[in-house]
Amino acid sequence: MDEPRASVERALTRISVARPYFDLADLEEVGDGIVNATVPTEPTVAPEAGAVEAAQVARHLAILGSCAVALTRDDDTRHHYLATRAHYSRMAYAPAAVDGPLRAQAIGSWIDRRNARALVTLSDDDGRALNLLDVTYTVLAPRMFARLNPPIDLDAIDEAAAGGRPAETIERRAGGVRLDAGPIPVEMCAGHFPDYPAAPVAIVMGRLCHAAGLAMLDHLRLGPLDSGSGGSEGGHRYRIEEGHVEATGLARAGQRLVLDASYVSPVPGGHRLRGEALADGAVVGEVDVVLSVHGPRVEASDIAAGAEGVGDEVDVTDRSGGDDRPDRDALIDLEGIGV
């Protein structure tokens, strides 16, 4: 390919994501199954730490990966690219702040006729990698998607789901917390699937990681349990170092979204937690995540036993790994949930 080709409209013709959920710019093919794009950035909101919000990074990278795969097809037929599993990693280089959009590259390939995979890297202007997403898709034609997913009666959706995000409630449970996010609002699904308002997996898993962050801070006694955006009383925050996601179903508008997260153990440089997302009581996704703590320094006697990985706003993650870190190779085939 001699010249990069602008490919936004071709990609949007082939995938089941539209604006405003699709928010990539300058998308171009630079090789067979290789695409670049400009990615908008959104700063984190307490209690999440870091320069950019992890859920939004995962959202944009997963969409770019589906574009890389879709643009290798021989026709412009629209298909649904359902992200069934993904592994998110924060790289060792982590700036305290990001000024403006970043660049991403996705390399996509087909596993077989129905499954595809993409490796997507987010980088700064100097080409230094910030985040990596390894994502696998189940690819369905519209007719097959319709057979597997019952239609949604928008008129029957509860009024609480027709407006903005409902108030969240949170409570302690054995070993962790439960965050009740209420009915999924229709606006959360805007631009995700045409005529099928289902919550994007990146948003659902982002809320689940938020619950995990609250569970960790509560377990370490670093502040009162609070589902709001203000963070803990002591100013402590969590940062997502890496996470493995398995998606098992669609969370549809109007369904009640409940997020359960539990503390597992300390690991080098952080803490391991697990969680599951439920829509009307049915599990639609699971996460195995490693989080680190950032904020004011505390004495070991002031936090729960085994609370390694607590420090200032600096990178304290030990990249040497360990047996308790998520196993990205322990993957199973699932009939998934949308990007």
pLDDT digits (tens, 9 = 90+) for 66-111: 999 999 999 899 999 999 999 999 998 877 778 888 999 999 999 9
**Residue 225 in tokens:** 């349990």
Polymer length in residues for the chain: 339
E strand spans, the chain = 5-6, 25-31, 34-39, 80-90, 102-110, 115-123, 129-140, 169-173, 176-183, 237-247, 256-267, 270-279, 282-294, 310-311, 337-338
Q: Using 50, 70 and 90 to split pLDDT, how confident is the model at 166?
A: low
In this predicted structure, the answer to whether residue 311 has a pLDDT above a threshold of 60 is no
- Classify 48 as helix, strand or coil: strand
Average pLDDT, the chain: 82
- At 215-232, the pLDDT tens digits run 999 999 986 676 554 445
Q: Longest C-alpha distance within the chain, in Å?
A: 63
User: In the structure, what pLDDT confidence band is assigned to residue 165 with cuts at 50, 70 and 90?
Assistant: low
Q: Average pLDDT of 242-253? A: 94
Q: Quick one: fold of 5-338?
A: Porin (2.40.160)
Domain ranges of the chain: 5-338
pTM, entire model:
0.84
What percent of the chain is modeled with pLDDT above 90?
Answer: 56
3-state secondary structure of 150: coil
Element (H, E) at 14: helix 8-14
State the pairing for strand pair 129-140/115-123. Answer: antiparallel
Contact 168, 182 (CB under 8 A): yes
Amino acid symbol at 338 = G
**Neighbouring-strand partners of residue 138:** 82, 115
Question: For residues 337 and 339, what is the distance between their CA atoms, to the nearest angstrom?
Answer: 7
Question: How far is residue 324's CA from residue 327's CA, in Å, rounded to a whole number?
Answer: 8
